[in-house]
């Protein structure tokens, strides 16, 4: 029977890129919680943060995984970087399927997201420092929420995808 594969990790770790390709090679459906929320709300994440605040967005994340729990399995699900911070979400994720934590260093993340304006939490004066402290705070949550930890350092998307089936067996 097909299970779900869930990808968690900090912004820029590659969850969506890896997830999309992984879904394709396994012929699974691909779901991205950020995209699900944007569609549901019919507006962008920066707009939701600006108009409703972070807490409202976090409630939508919980609603999204609750809905997915009721659906058929066989999906690759990429979740927003902050979703595993809520304890309730960590429990729901574990029920939803096999959770893989894509782990990167703050340096790698910074290089990947420095030009990006689509992530409201990184629109600060010192994004480098913000990334470092947030990653440190979130590390225990990512560890608790995951079944498998997979380092993304110096690996291509294809390399990561080729490692995942072995981890699932």
- Residues 54, 121, 76, CA angle at the centre, nearest 5°? 80
Question: Using CA atoms, how far apart are residues 7 and 101, in angstroms rounded to an integer?
Answer: 6
Give 64 or 164: the residue with its C-beta nearer to ligand S3P: 64
Give 106 or 120: the residue with its C-beta nearer to ligand S3P: 120
* Closest approach of ligand S3P to the CB of residue 9, in Å: 7
* Closest approach of ligand S3P to the CB of residue 132, in Å: 14
Residue 134 DSSP one-character state: H
* Closest approach of ligand S3P to the CB of residue 61, in Å: 7
Structure tokens given for 159: 């390399």
Give 28 or 57: the residue with its C-beta nearer to ligand S3P: 57
Point out which residues bind ligand S3P (CB under 6 A): 11, 15, 34, 45, 80-82, 119-121
Cα dihedral across residues 80, 85, 87, 90: positive or negative: positive
């Amino acid at each position: 029977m097909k299970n779900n594969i869930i990808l968690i990790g900090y912004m820029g770790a590659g969850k969506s890129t890896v997830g999309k390709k992984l879904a394709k090679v396994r012929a699974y459906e691909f779901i991205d919680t950020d995209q699900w929320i944007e569609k549901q709300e019919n507006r962008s994440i920066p707009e939701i943060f600006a108009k409703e605040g972070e807490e409202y967005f976090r409630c939508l994340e919980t609603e999204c995984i609750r809905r997915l729990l009721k659906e058929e399995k066989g999906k690759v699900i990429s979740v927003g970087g902050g979703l595993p911070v809520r304890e309730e979400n960590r429990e729901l994720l574990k029920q939803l399927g096999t959770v893989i934590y894509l782990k990167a260093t703050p340096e790698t993340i910074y290089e990947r997201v420095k030009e990006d304006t689509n992530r409201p939490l990184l629109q600060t004066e010192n994004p480098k420092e913000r990334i470092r402290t947030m990653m440190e705070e979130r590390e225990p949550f990512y560890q608790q929420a995951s079944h498998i930890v997979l380092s993304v350092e110096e690996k291509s998307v294809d390399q990561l995808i080729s490692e995942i089936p072995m981890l699932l067996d």
